[in-house]
Structures are given as C-alpha cells and as structure tokens.
Structure 1
Amino acid sequence: MRSTYELINTGDIAGFGDLLADDFVEHQGGPGFPDTKEGTLAFFRALLDAFPDLHMEVEDLIADGDKTVARVTTTGTHRGDFMGIPPTGSSAGMQLIDIMRFDGAGRVCEHWGVADMLTLLQQLGVVPASAPV
C-alpha cells in the first residue's frame, strides 16, 4: 500500500498502474472518471496536472487479511485546472482514509476512500471557510 503512494508522489503513474489488478474496481472515484483501472490512472494524471507537487504521507497503516487501511495527509500547490477550478496558486492539504483490497498476486483489486474535499475547497477559496462557532 505504501508503494502506491510513493509512486504517485514521484509522478510514476505507469508504475502505480502496475500495482493495480487489470480488473481493479474504484468505489470512490473522481467525478467524470470510470471506476476502472484506466479511469483511476486518468484521475491521478489529472490530479498531478492540477497539483504537480502533490505529496501523500501515510500517517497510520492498519492491515487485516486482504485489506489495508491508511490515514493519509496530502499536500500540494494548485497549479492546474482541478474539477473545473482554474489554478489558484494556493497551497492546500487534506486528509484521506483509504481502504485497499489486495488479490492473491499482491495487486490492488479494490479501493474505497473518503477525502476531506470541503477543507480542500475552502483552502482553494471556492467555498468560504465556516465562521467560528
């Protein structure tokens, strides 16, 4: 699982793709991208176009059977179009929770995830930050 993040951090999407099973299923998915291996690779290419210095840091990693769960902090600078949002030049970060299931060959065959998109959109200035309570 750590290898997936390390390859994305270096921009090696082809290498990341080698870690995904051919019948990989994405259960979270980026908007407008198919829930397949190719759709996931296209999503990460687009994400790296938008945040070329994207960095994913594993904070916690828990494994049980064929599934692994990670709490991940992401950081990057918004330098390209992201979900229709023109580049802001803003530095941004958010938390992710990822669950990956591995097949018998050790490839990722399924992914579920939760991303703190509200915080990201607030940092990009698209959504106003909430007032203190």
Structure 2
Amino acid sequence: MSTETNLAIVHRYVEEGLNAGNMAVIDELCAVSCVNHDPTQPSVHDRGALKQFWLALRAAFPDQRTTIQDLVAEEDRVVTRFTWRGTHTGDFYGISATGRQVTFDGIDIVRLADGEIQEIWWGYDMLGVLQQLGVDLRLPG
C-alpha cells in the first residue's frame, strides 16, 4: 500500500472508529489478529478485544475526542501525534465517575499490511490522567 493510503486508513480509524464510535470501521480497517500495545496494561491480541477496549473507554468517557495534531507515514508505519479529551462519567479501571475533564497528548505508531492495521503502539502520560481524575498518587509512609 502507498503511504497516502496508509495515512487515509489511520485517519479514518481515528475519525470514524474512535471519535464517532463506529466499531464496524474497526472491523473493516483492523486485521483479525491486530495487536494493541498500551504501556499501562497487557497488550490486546485480536480485533474483538480491541473493540472491547474502545467500548469500555467510550463508556467511561462518552464524549471522548481524539484530535490529530500530526500524521506522518513512511513505508508500512504511520505515526500520529494527538490530543485526547473526554469527561469522566463512567467507571474507568475501577475509578468511579468524577465528572472531571481529562486532556492528554500522546503519540501512536501504527503498522499496516495489506490495507489493514496490524499493530498499534501507544505512548501517553497515564500518571497525568490519574492526577486529573483526582487519584492520590502519593507513596505510603
């Protein structure tokens, strides 16, 4: 696939899949064995689990929005620099709804093959997210 095609696939994944919540787009754009590498939790190793991850995030932050700041492609990789925002109105990893607005910047690297997303690597500040939610991060003692 061309870099232009790969850019279009990732852009559509973000806008229609993540932002609009259309899980059918994830079925269309992600390989069945798509791997999601998130530094804050175990990797997800299939498309169904990836959809469950996004549905759980959408349940916790129903107004969540990913804004693409930069989108760069080379060969089979697309790098996205993004800003994510959402209001915490549902359970998030055992943290009850706070009503707080959360914002963070991140970067992801997406590997594509045969017109499908094969792997995604995320980089973002989960400690900053937890602080915005009011989680006490002080060490005991």
Which of the five TM-score ranges fits, normalised by the shorter chain? 0.7 to 0.9
SS of residue matched to 1:84: coil
Q: 1:126 to 1:51 in 2, by over 3 A?
A: same
> Alignment partner of 1:87: what SS?
coil
Provide TM-score, normalisation by structure 2.
0.83
Partner Cα distance (1:32, 1:110) in 2: 14
Match of residue 101 from structure 1 = 111
Name the amino acid aligned to 2:75: G
Any unmatched runs of 5+ in structure 1? none
> Corresponding residue for 2:45?
35
Post-superposition Cα deviations, 1:2-25, rounded to whole Å, max 9, x if no partner, equal 111102111112222321011212
| Greater share of helix | 2
Counterpart for residue 14 of structure 2: 5
Q: Quote the Cα distance in structure 1 between the aligned partners of 2:23 and 2:39.
A: 16
Normalising to structure 1: TM-score of the pair?
Answer: 0.88
Q: Residue type matched to 2:30 in 1?
A: L
Q: Identify the residue that residue 120 of structure 1 maps to in structure 2.
A: 129
Q: CA RMSD in A?
A: 1.9
- Count of aligned positions: 128
**Matched residue of 1:125: which SS?**
coil
Report the identity percentage.
Answer: 38
Contact 1:26 1:35 (C-alpha < 8 Å) held by counterparts: yes
TM-aligned CA distance change 1:17 to 1:29, over 3 Å: farther
- 4+ runs deviating over 6 angstroms: none
1:91-127 per-position Cα deviation (integer Å, ceiling 9, x unaligned): 11111110001112x1101111112111111111014
Q: Distance in 2 between matches of 1:74 and 1:44?
A: 13
